[in-house]
Structure 1
Amino acid sequence: MTDPVLLWFRQDLRLSDQAALAAAAAEGPVIPVYVLDDESPRPWAMGGAQRWWLHHSLARLDAALRDKGSRLILRRGKSDDVLAQVARETGAGRVHALHHYEPWWRNAEKAVARHLDLCLHDGGLLLPPGAVRTGGGGFYKIYTPFARAVMEQMPPASPQRAPARIDAPDAWPQSDRLQDWALLPSAPDWAADFSADWTPGEDGARANVAAFIDEVGDYPQARNLPSIEGTSRLSPHLHFGEVSPAYVWHRVASSNRNAEIFLKELIWRDYAHIQICEKPAYGSDNARGDFDRMDWRDLREAKADFAAWKTGRTGYPIVDAGMRQLWTTGWMHNRVRMIAASFLIKHLLIDWRHGARWFWDTLVDADYANNSVNWQWVAGSGVDANMFTRIMAPLSQSEKFEAADYIRQWVPELATLSDEAIHDPDAHDARPSGYPAKIIGHKAGRERALAAYRRMKR
């Protein structure tokens, strides 16, 4: 029988529109392999919420593969070492995989290619990095012209169906048991409520796309209203590659002629990946060097404020609602993410990297490119970013975006307050005794942030 080929799964846990799978299946017997590699990412190993999602997504991927006559081999270790070992055990000499652009995956791809014939395919983004370039031939740094250039090449290629059957090898190599990886939390099970909100896996992703199609016409306005959750909630499915961005684009674009604002969110995802290709340390280094001089508060001094932010006890209802939603569901509404991030960076003057790390551990959709670029956008330290001096006013943002019911859901201590009082209970002398006072006033926080910015600019 023909020697088998390896199919290396990473953040591409689907069978449809999976170019690496299609190429591998066309060659003959396929051995699909997922490597739990915590060594290559080092400090960027998956956080706890991502691991919960990964467990369920891998279980469903294995079931889908078995329906095609195949199965998923699980191994743990450094990717190049593990794949080389599986190749020795099975006689495989070639590995198919999708491109990934996180710095550790790019390094891992180079390492694997030293051992085996590695065939990389596109499919994780709308367009591969470099497909659109500036007039000078470089990568775009500013989102708006990048988006225009991408739109000129849309729609993406039509998504491809999964193969009807996947040929199996003569003998399967040994596999770890998923439950032995202990990806699910216990003692305590802080993810107990995640399943009420999420169905990981390719079927769950497609169901989410179908549900969003009915709402995409309202997206331009509804996406800013946390009380009605007007966002797509596709981010974790896209992060884990359970659905391709091309599939999402075609389904959404064909459903509504007014879908452009949502489609540009998919382009923003491509943009974020371009930035980490250009600046691999985007998650830890300021993209603008002057922010290296920012006089952030020492976290030892700000420990209590940071803890209040993480646990949703700041005295700012919209911020607290978002942080509690994050802890309970592994996700936070996008508008509230911006408000909560801005509050940490500017009102509390805490380095954006501390917040980004908290999101990395607690978000089911914690994506290195998106998380890093979005935090630096809010901080003003990014390549293309909001100005630091534009400081969000969380109380007025809460009222403007009609967050009363959202606050009632996640901050039950305030549930009985009126729509008028719930955004700022202190201002209406309506704060219940069990809810904390503001840890800093809006004016005081704003003035402290602007003073730090002026010192940085001297």
Structure 2
Amino acid sequence: MTQPSILWLRQDLRLHDQPALVAAAHEGPVVPVYVLDDDAPGEWRIGGAQRWWLHHSLSTLDAALRAKHSRLILRRGDAVSILTALMEETGASRIHAIRHYEPWWRDAEKKLGDRLELHDGNHLVRLEDLTTGSGTPFKMFSSFWKALQSQLPPADPFPVPHAIPAPAHWPMSDELAEWTLLPTRPDWSTGFDKDWTPGETEALAKAKDWSDDVAAYDRRRNLPSEEGTSRLSPHLHHGEISPRAIYHALGDTRDAGAFLRELAWRDFTSGVLLALPKYGEVNGRPKYDALPWRKDAEAKRDLQAWQQGRTGYPIVDAGMRQLWASGWMHNRVRMIAASFLVKHLLIDWRKGERWYWDCLVDADYGNNAVNWQWIAGTGVDANMFGRIMAPLSQSGKFDAADYIREWVPELRDLTDATIHDPDDSGVRPNDYPAKLIGHREARERALAAAATLR
């Protein structure tokens, strides 16, 4: 019998547009494997919200494989060691996988050497083909976007293979429940089931439905009280759907420009990791290493208030409570909440990045890092530090009243005119906190801190 191939799955938990699976099935028997490797990422081991999603995604993927007379093998530990041992155990001749750009996965791919055949499938186009004139990855999005557009549309997605040949003997597999990916006591995920259905089937259905709404995306995406975004981000992060499958699901993309830029931004952040692998830890602009972040006991209390949605700024608090309850936050509010932590509270962006990493079901290393450094002004392509978002005016501008009522029930009875700033209106309920700091005072403190770098 033909030697089997191992299909190494990571953040590509799908059968549709899965080039590594197609290549492996073309060669012969396939052993699909997911390795839960908490050591390779180190401090970037996947967070609690992602683990909840991963449990359900792995379960649905195994069911889809079994419908094709295959199955998913689960192993836990060092991915390189486990895959090497599985090759010996199964007699596999090769490992097929989709290319990843997180530094720990690039290191693992390098260690596997010529035993591993990599395929491109988690981005619109192959990132190594998008470089500057000097052959280096782009660090500016505008230039990246211009170069990417010249290579669109992306290749057509691969269909699901008609058959996935099985090996003569299946290796042993862990039981998914043994991994305890789901929270136990306390179970903070009780709201997740209401908002999310992980898995490839749901991802493909969402993409199809989104094609009917994408034309209104540019108008509605900044309105947190409306359902104006695709909510595809966690499906994309876990690889339950590919970006090019989404692109082609949109059909005529002339009205999808704003949304396509968001897909492109996701690819861009992976490209930044090619140039700067430690971007999640190190300022893109070294001069900000000397910024005097607040680190005292009061700053720690302010950080905790921000995490709990108790800052006294309703739009910020609504976002942070939505994040905790659902594992997701509206994109406009993500920016407002992040800016508030960095500029109003003068707390290191990395503190917020780590909180999002643990709480977001779509927490992506590259996207999370680039977005935080953009807001903080510390990145290679970033907003200026002195540009400070005003959360109170942003709340009114983007009509967030109903959004606040949903997530901050203490303010539910306030009018549209007073709910954005109940302190200033003199109607703040006793059970809602006063502002941690006034906007003008916070702005002056942030600008004074930035002035020390000149």
TM-score range, shorter chain: over 0.9
* Counterpart check, 1:188 vs 2:186: yes
Pick the aligned partner of 1:223 from 221, 224, 239: 221
Q: How far is the alpha carbon of 1:96 from its aligned partner?
A: 0.2
Summarize the alignment of residues 147-296 of structure 1 with structure 2, pairs less than 5 Å apart: 147-252=145-250, 254-255=251-252, 257-296=254-293
How do 1:260-409 and structure 2 match up within 5 A? 260-298=257-295, 300-409=297-406
Extract unaligned runs of 5+ from structure 1: none
Instruction: Give the SS at the match of 1:81.
Output: helix
CA deviation digits over 1:61-81, x for unaligned, max 9? 000000111000000000011
8 Å contact kept, 2:137–2:274 = no
1:36 aligns with 2:36: yes
SS at match of 2:121: coil
How many correspondences in the alignment?
454
Equivalent-residue separation in structure 1 for 2:138 and 2:99 (angstroms) = 20
C-alpha separation in 2, matches of 1:133 and 1:299: 43
Contact 2:136/2:275 (8 A) holds in 1: no
For 1:106 and 1:133, how far apart are their aligned partners in 2? 18
2:217/2:229 contact within 8 Å kept? yes
Q: Once the 2 structures are TM-superposed, how far is the Cα of residue 303 of structure 1 from its aligned partner? A: 1.1
Q: Is the 8 A contact 1:216 1:256 kept in 2?
A: no
Once residues 389 and 248 of structure 1 are traced to their aligned partners in structure 2, the CA distance between those partners, rounded to angstroms, is 36
- 2:136, 2:182 → 1: CA distance? 43
Q: Cα offset for 1:214? A: 2.0
- Percent identity between the two aligned chains: 61
1:147 partner letter: W
Name structure 2 gaps, 5 residues minimum. none
Structure 1 letter corresponding to 2:348? D
Q: Aligned AA for 2:247? A: W
Deviations 1:330-382 (A, max 9, x none): 00000000000000000000000000000000000000000000000000001
CA contact (8 A) 1:79 1:112 kept: no
Q: Take 1:435 and 1:394, find their aligned partners in 2: how far apart are those partners?
A: 17
Report what 2:117 is aligned to: 119
Once residues 71 and 18 of structure 2 are traced to their aligned partners in structure 1, the CA distance between those partners, rounded to angstroms, is 16
Instruction: Give the aligned partner of residue 75 of structure 2.
Output: 75
Cα 1:299–1:199 shift into 2, 3 Å: farther
Q: TM-score, normalised by structure 2?
A: 0.99
User: 2:17 — aligned with what?
Assistant: 17
Question: CA separation of 1:111/1:300 partners in 2, compared to 1, >3 Å: closer, same or farther?
Answer: farther
What is the TM-score of this pair, normalised by structure 1?
A: 0.98
Q: How many angstroms does 1:148 deviate by?
A: 1.1
User: CA offsets per residue over residues 207-238 of structure 1, 9 Å max, x none?
Assistant: 22122222111100100000003111111111
Amino acid at match of 1:240: H
Aligned-CA RMSD value = 0.9
Partners of 2:71 and 2:320 lie apart in 1 by 39
